[in-house]
């Protein structure tokens, strides 16, 4: 089945070039030139991947990303950033973007990232159970919901993806760089401290005593180990 890419970008010449190349690669392509219209299309048309510019008229790309994740829409998002927008990159990833690429960029690199992200998404969906329970936690992956003792807990899509990765690799030592590469989808990131911050948030939501966790265990010098008991 042909994969659908939604481009949310207001630079018409850039979009024209992207559409030509993506169609040549066998993708179906849709486009919105502002954040509000892009958000509507992302929700209503269910694309397989979104290319999202940060700087947009009206609603910016960060707000679009934030709203999609609030709606539990897990569509992979690759953000386009201008050179030097380092803080925006970090914020984008914190609120649920999957990857970013800086303008100007190589179309071959972007296409490679798109294909890698789509493959990663497909592999992950095949390996994890739809409903997974451990301790007093139940994770509903298709519904993007987490319940603790029967009550729904507020989880971001990124937190669920991290938990999904832990479950897939249960019992293994998962290095911080593995999480960065597999969840965010690239090899370079400003600091691994972001991973530790996400782990702290996860522990507060799933552990009886976050200071003495029994599910997400720190491995000195190695990373983390997930124990689903």
Total tally of structural domains belonging to the chain = 2
Question: Tens digit of pLDDT for each residue in 4-48?
Answer: 999 999 999 999 999 999 999 999 999 999 999 999 999 888 888
Helix, strand, or coil (residue 25): coil
Helices (H), 31-85: 35-45, 61-70
Question: Tens digit of pLDDT for each residue in 181-215?
Answer: 677 654 444 466 778 888 999 999 999 999 999 99
Residue 43 CA to its chain's centroid (Å): 16
State the residue range of the domain holding 156. Answer: 129-226
How far is it, in rounded angstroms, from Cα 219 to Cα 31? 45
Q: Report the chain's mean pLDDT, rounded to a whole number.
A: 85
Residues 195 and 218 placed together within one structural domain of the fold: yes
Residues 83 and 28 placed together within one structural domain of the fold: yes
Are the C-beta atoms of 40 and 62 separated by less than 8 Å? no
Helix, strand, or coil (residue 51): strand
Region at 159 (left for phi over 0; alpha for psi -120 to 50; beta for the rest): alpha
Residues 154 and 217 placed together within one structural domain of the fold: yes
How far is it, in rounded angstroms, from Cα 66 to Cα 121? 20
Question: Tens digit of pLDDT for each residue in 79-136?
Answer: 998 766 666 667 777 788 888 888 888 999 999 999 888 877 665 554 667 888 998 9
| Alpha carbons within 13 A on the beta-carbon side of 180 | 17
CATH number at residue 155: 1.10.10.10
CATH number at residue 65: 3.40.50.2300
């Amino acid at each position: 089945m042909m994969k659908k890419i939604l481009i949310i970008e207001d630079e018409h010449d850039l979009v024209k070039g992207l559409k030509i190349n993506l169609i040549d690669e066998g993708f179906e392509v849709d486009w919105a030139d502002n954040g509000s219209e892009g958000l509507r299309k992302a929700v209503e048309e269910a694309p397989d991947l979104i290319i999202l510019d940060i700087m947009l008229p009206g609603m910016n790309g960060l707000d679009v990303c934030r709203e999609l994740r609030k709606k539990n829409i897990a569509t992979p998002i690759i953000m386009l950033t201008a050179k030097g927008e380092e803080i925006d990159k970090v914020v984008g990833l914190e609120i649920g973007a999957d990857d970013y690429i800086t303008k100007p960029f190589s179309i071959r690199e972007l296409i490679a990232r798109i294909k890698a992200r789509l493959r990663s998404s497909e592999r992950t969906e095949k390996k994890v159970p739809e409903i997974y329970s451990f301790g007093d936690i139940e994770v509903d992956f298709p519904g993007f919901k987490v319940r603790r003792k029967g009550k729904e807990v507020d989880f971001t899509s990124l937190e669920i993806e991290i938990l999904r990765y832990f479950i897939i690799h249960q019992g293994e030592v998962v290095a911080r760089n593995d999480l960065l590469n597999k969840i965010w989808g690239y090899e370079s990131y400003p600091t691994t401290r972001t991973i530790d911050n996400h782990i702290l948030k996860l522990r507060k939501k799933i552990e009886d005593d976050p200071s003495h966790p029994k599910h997400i265990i720190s491995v000195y010098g190695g990373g983390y180990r997930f124990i689903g008991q």
